[in-house]
Structure 1
Amino acid sequence: MPDWSDVPLLYQAQIEGRCQLHRQENKQKSRAYDWVDQWTKLYHSTDDSGGRSGQPDNSNQWRRNLSPVNRNNSPEPPQFSGEAKTRPYTMTWRLVTNGGQDDGIIRPAIGARGYPYYPGSSMKGAFRRACACTTEQALKYCGKPSQGDQGSEPGILRFLGGYPTDNNWTKNLVDIAHPQQKKQVIQDGKTNANVLLSFHEVTLNFGISSTIPLDEQEWRTIWQIWEKAIGNGLGSRVSAGYGRFKDVPSPETLLQLHLTGQGITATLLDKTPEFRPNMFKAVLRGHTLRLLGGMTDEKTAKHLTQILWGGIDGAATLGQLGISFTYHDDDLKFGEHPYTPPGKSEQIMPLYNLKRGTLKISCMNRRTSPEKRQELAELAKAIVQFSLLLGGFGKSWRRADHRLFFRPYLEKGNKPMIGCHWKFIDSSKSLYLPITDLQQDLSQFIDRLRILFQNYAAKQGYTIHPDNPVHCDWREAWYPYDNQGGVQVWGRIVEDRIKAIKWFHQPYEGTHTLRNLQGSIGRDSQTGRLWHRIYPYYHLNSEGKLQQQKPPIELLTFFPETTEDSAHFIAFLNERSDFVKIW
């Protein structure tokens, strides 16, 4: 009787103690890595697998050692026939293909001899949508689907799929989806990381052929349509930055802005650091939910957020907005922050420093009217401004970057890195809020953003109001503090030194500390109720142009509890500090 361990992980029962590919248990190596190793062993080359050769050994021992999954696989990328027209395109980040699921784990479609690919049927669907502006064009190239008693009519094009051009597709296949909306906005709780497999920065060679001869001009038209298709993104999770390709503009871009930032790098399950563009959508979507949660009930707030950004709560919904983020490889540098906590071994925190990147927010529905596009662009712009006014993006986005603003905290080498710092650059500096009166200008901006959400909800058929007494009972629902919940925003122009950053690490008054308000990390991590941001100070000069002032602005966003700690800190800010209440 054969040993069950000889059965490839893909085909083993997905039960505890046997094989669990989808769910990631803490402190356990994901079995997905073992499965990927079984699958990709043949394809590794000497430069990406620690010396394993990409060419098989001629001995029978080599073939006996292969798992059943790849004994008949080919290490060479599939090639199209000579009649096919092909073009390669390189991903900006990751691509999730619609290859089906195996016990809940998402993975690429796998073709003959074990090679992954982007299916031709999916190519055809994307191509048809891109040329749907002219029915005649769609019928010519893609054919006519069957309707009732009428049979289908084939088009002249054959979509052959997209295949990796080399074996670099074997790198970084194991991806992670870690939903944290509830923990970030609503209440603390345990969240599970789910495993999926996705292509990472792979070049795909797409093939198309025709049943009739076509001249070069028509082929140029065909490739223009295809680039329009991939400009909208391919595969799943497109609205979060997946499925985008380099040097292919999105035809549906509503807002484009340039950013620079630094902070703590996210890591994959094997602790590999990765700069993950989906963090931008996570923050923008989270702020949308906070703001709506302060103006209506929970069901409506979640539903409106899903309409705007998409989601899978109930029926899967394609949102109206999506993001993509691009940068040149030379502009992103990774670093490390080593530290040794008392009584423990040395820890390493991965860091990133992005010199320049471009965030694009796109309309996900090409049939959206110009008027609605303008409204969505205005709302998206305000959400981005709100995000950079009070926080940042990625890990530790609630706190100011301690490398920049509190170096002494890190100098002893026994403390973890905290915070991030993001800025608008180049032409996007125009998105900074001009400030003449700190309290008035910032409070008016927040009020205007809430009105934008009120108007947006009305267009979706919902009546909400900024002064609505009905709001969500969440930790970070955005409504004026009423002694039971809500939010306060405090600020000051830094004339001498940044003050609040020290309050997170030592008593701010007498023996009073922020220990119970600032959150914690570790096994029993708690999300803090305080955000701290150092925001550049701009005002309009006599010519009406933005001009940066030397002192920055220090901002505290506080979601108080009904506790003595919260009450004392509010009294301190109000009576014994130079912070002014902004909102």
Structure 2
Amino acid sequence: MVNIANAAQLVPLMFQAQIKGRSQLQYINQEAEVQDSQRWASEWTKEAYPQPPDPGKTVTTRTYKMQWRFVTNGGQFEGIIFPALGAFGLPFYPGSSMKGLFCQACTSEQKQRYRLTKNSDEPSLLRFHGGYPVNDWKQNLVDIVHPQQKWQVQTHHTDEKPRNETGFALISLSEPAIQFGISSPLPDTDWQEVWAIWERALGYGIGCRTSSGYGLPKARLTELGEEEYPIPIQGQQLYKAFLKGEGQAPQLIGGETEFRPNVFRGSLRGHALRIFGGLTNQKTAEALVENLFGGVNDGGTQGLLTCAFKTSDLQLGTFTEGYGEPTYKVAGELRWLLMSPRQLDESKQQTLKKLLPALMRFALLFGGFGKSWRRADHRQFYQEYYQRRKPLIGCHWQWDKTSLTYGAKVSSLNRVGRFIDQVRQIASEWMQLQGVKPDERNHANWREAWYPDGVEVWGRLAEGAEDCVAIKWLHEAYQRANRRFREAEQSIKQSSVTGQISQVGRLWHRMYPVVKLVDNPKNPGKKKPRSTPNYLELLTIFPDDSRKCDDFLDFLDTEPEGFQRLW
């Protein structure tokens, strides 16, 4: 008998048990140089065929490019989302799933004509062969999911992360080009109509995690791989806005950099929790949010909403002031869609059309999207900080193009408080339509639940980026020692107020660009938005019982540099 040392390590992870010490595809080991998911992906792609199977002459095919990422969970591996595997070890979209989505996009007459009804005793006149990626799909496969609801919103003491709120790996395809196949025994099949139905079906998103932006189509491709025409996103549009922003780009497990459009869904979900959490108890607030955005409690909930971000410009770069951190600069169009209009009556749909713009304006007014969204971009508003070769902090987002009008809705300090009240009122209207009576006296006991005694908003008008004041208070003493008046130095640096590495603070700092409506000479009587050099400098604080927080709020009461309490 031949004794092979470490024989178990020679067995591919595909055939090893998903237990500690063997194969843990979903788990991310911070101490490991190579994650199991990375090793698995390498072993898998090495053996998979480079080309999909030939569909044959009887199958009609078309190829479509996905906007971002795509995955169909095959359920083949416990605890991890992993693509369904077809012939030759290739990821594929099953024909059964394709048929189901196609049927949903058909009219009743089309279902009957193609014999796609469930009660038909005759075989259908269309065969769905599924879809295989035909481009270089083997790059950037190891994706990541990072739930942080408790840590970001609910937990009071954030120096320790709550259980199960860590990064998890999943496997998804990055911007794949997928070739779909359909065949029919009828020689006179109207293929133009068939593919038009499939493109409509594609527009709803395919695979799983579609509410987070996965599986949305970009364009049909020609045989040469060029984009022939875009595929419109389906669903009832509730809201559309043009945005642009820049900040720290996220990195995948393997170190790859990308801009992840699911940051918009994560942001609005978090703000909805804050608003609802200030109007009702924890359980009810979470149920309201899961109804809108989906969730995993009680067996899982499919949310009403999905978001789709169409990038018009994306620049991935590096911040090289001593750290080499990845950065993004992006512009595009964000849409929020109602995927199942039949589930809601007209009054609920109209209220959602008010709630989504309110949540988006809330997100833009008080922060941003993605990593370090609680801080203004230090590169723009604290340049002297980077003369000391410091790590990148903050982000900066603003309205773009025709959506600049949204910025003019809150263009002065006296509008901030009224806007907050308006958001809470719209949220209350939605709650009542769900049969929930608002009661802020019974609010959720969360760190960032939004109710009058739980949060303070302070602001001032900054005349230009160089007039940013509060950003220095995050890194230096906000009050110098004064022996004459027996005043000690006061600072909130590295405290529970500002937080530090691996700890979420209780303060948001935002430089919100001021937009004004001015006369439009090309269209008399109409106004047009115009950007100004000014900013609303806003501090949002969720007080705790610490001495440093109390002292800082006492300091703000003196209205330093023109700061005043707005809410």
Q: Do Structure 1 and Structure 2 share a fold, with TM-score over 0.5?
A: yes
Equivalent-residue separation in structure 2 for 1:178 and 1:231 (angstroms): 27
Equivalent-residue separation in structure 2 for 1:436 and 1:16 (angstroms): 55
Q: How does 1:499-538 map to 2 (within 5 A)?
A: 499-510=469-480, 511-515=489-493, 516-522=495-501, 525-538=502-515
Is 2:255 aligned against 1:280? no
Q: Deviations over 1:234-286 (max 9, x none)?
A: 11111111111112212222222111110000111122111111111000100
Q: Deviations over 1:302-356 (max 9, x none)?
A: 000000111112221111111111214xx2112212455xxxxxx43111111x2
Corresponding letter in the other structure for 2:99: K
Is 2:383 aligned against 1:388? no
> Structure 1 77/436 Cα, relative in aligned 2: closer, same or farther at 3 Å?
closer
Cα-Cα RMSD: 1.9
Equivalent-residue separation in structure 1 for 2:507 and 2:122 (angstroms): 62
- Given that 2:412 and 2:536 are in contact with CA atoms closer than 8 Å, whether structure 1 keeps it comes out as no
Identity %: 43
Q: For structure 1, which runs of at least 5 residues remain unmatched after alignment? A: 42-69, 341-346
Q: Deviations over 1:188-243 (max 9, x none)?
A: 3242211111111010011111121234xx32222121111111111111111111
Displacement, 1:435?
4.6
- Secondary structure at the counterpart of residue 555 of structure 2: helix
Instruction: Name the structure 2 match of 1:4.
Output: 8
Instruction: Name the structure 2 match of 1:163.
Output: 132
Corresponding letter in the other structure for 1:38: E
Corresponding letter in the other structure for 1:185: V
- Secondary structure at the counterpart of residue 187 of structure 2: coil
Is 2:144 aligned against 1:176? yes
Quick check: 137-146 or 249-258, which moved more?
A: 137-146
Displacement, 1:434?
3.4
Instruction: Name the structure 2 match of 1:83.
Output: 58
Equivalent-residue separation in structure 2 for 1:375 and 1:353 (angstroms): 33
Displacement, 1:539?
3.4
Displacement, 1:476?
0.4
TM superposition score normalised by structure 2: 0.89
- Secondary structure at the counterpart of residue 9 of structure 2: helix
- Given that 1:12 and 1:19 are in contact with CA atoms closer than 8 Å, whether structure 2 keeps it comes out as yes
Displacement, 1:135?
2.3
Equivalent-residue separation in structure 2 for 1:17 and 1:325 (angstroms): 40
Is 2:45 aligned against 1:40? yes
- Given that 2:348 and 2:433 are in contact with CA atoms closer than 8 Å, whether structure 1 keeps it comes out as no
Number of equivalences: 525
1:377 to 327, 334, 353: 353
Q: How does 1:97-496 map to 2 (within 5 A)?
A: 97-131=72-106, 134-141=107-114, 143-145=116-118, 152-166=121-135, 168-187=136-155, 188=158, 189-190=161-162, 191-215=165-189, 218-246=190-218, 247-252=230-235, 253-328=237-312, 331-338=313-320, 347-354=323-330, 356-367=331-342, 368-413=344-389, 415-435=390-410, 438-439=413-414, 441-465=415-439, 468-481=440-453, 486-495=454-463
Equivalent-residue separation in structure 1 for 2:497 and 2:545 (angstroms): 15
Dislocated runs of 4+, deviation >6 Å: none
Equivalent-residue separation in structure 1 for 2:320 and 2:529 (angstroms): 39
- Given that 2:240 and 2:333 are in contact with CA atoms closer than 8 Å, whether structure 1 keeps it comes out as yes
Q: Deviations over 1:62-81 (max 9, x none)?
A: xxxxxxxx3xx533222212
Instruction: Name the structure 2 match of 1:570.
Output: 553
Equivalent-residue separation in structure 1 for 2:126 and 2:254 (angstroms): 43
Equivalent-residue separation in structure 2 for 1:296 and 1:323 (angstroms): 26
> Structure 1 322/34 Cα, relative in aligned 2: closer, same or farther at 3 Å?
same
Corresponding letter in the other structure for 1:353: K
Instruction: Name the structure 2 match of 1:45.
Output: none
Instruction: Name the structure 2 match of 1:561.
Output: 544
Displacement, 1:374?
3.1
Equivalent-residue separation in structure 1 for 2:166 and 2:360 (angstroms): 28
- Given that 1:139 and 1:155 are in contact with CA atoms closer than 8 Å, whether structure 2 keeps it comes out as no
1:31 to 36, 53, 59: 36
Q: How does 1:64-83 map to 2 (within 5 A)?
A: 70=47, 73-83=48-58
> Structure 1 27/79 Cα, relative in aligned 2: closer, same or farther at 3 Å?
same
Displacement, 1:437?
5.2
Equivalent-residue separation in structure 1 for 2:445 and 2:245 (angstroms): 33
- Given that 1:128 and 1:142 are in contact with CA atoms closer than 8 Å, whether structure 2 keeps it comes out as no
Equivalent-residue separation in structure 2 for 1:461 and 1:40 (angstroms): 51
Instruction: Name the structure 2 match of 1:548.
Output: 531
> Structure 1 256/142 Cα, relative in aligned 2: closer, same or farther at 3 Å?
farther
Corresponding letter in the other structure for 1:529: R
Equivalent-residue separation in structure 2 for 1:290 and 1:79 (angstroms): 52
Q: For structure 2, which runs of at least 5 residues remain unmatched after alignment? A: 219-229, 481-488, 520-524
- Secondary structure at the counterpart of residue 231 of structure 2: coil
Equivalent-residue separation in structure 2 for 1:477 and 1:455 (angstroms): 18
- Given that 2:145 and 2:170 are in contact with CA atoms closer than 8 Å, whether structure 1 keeps it comes out as yes
> Structure 1 274/549 Cα, relative in aligned 2: closer, same or farther at 3 Å?
closer
Displacement, 1:474?
0.7
- Given that 1:143 and 1:153 are in contact with CA atoms closer than 8 Å, whether structure 2 keeps it comes out as no
Equivalent-residue separation in structure 2 for 1:458 and 1:109 (angstroms): 42
- Secondary structure at the counterpart of residue 267 of structure 2: helix
> Structure 1 436/97 Cα, relative in aligned 2: closer, same or farther at 3 Å?
closer
- Given that 1:255 and 1:362 are in contact with CA atoms closer than 8 Å, whether structure 2 keeps it comes out as yes
Instruction: Name the structure 1 match of 2:222.
Output: none
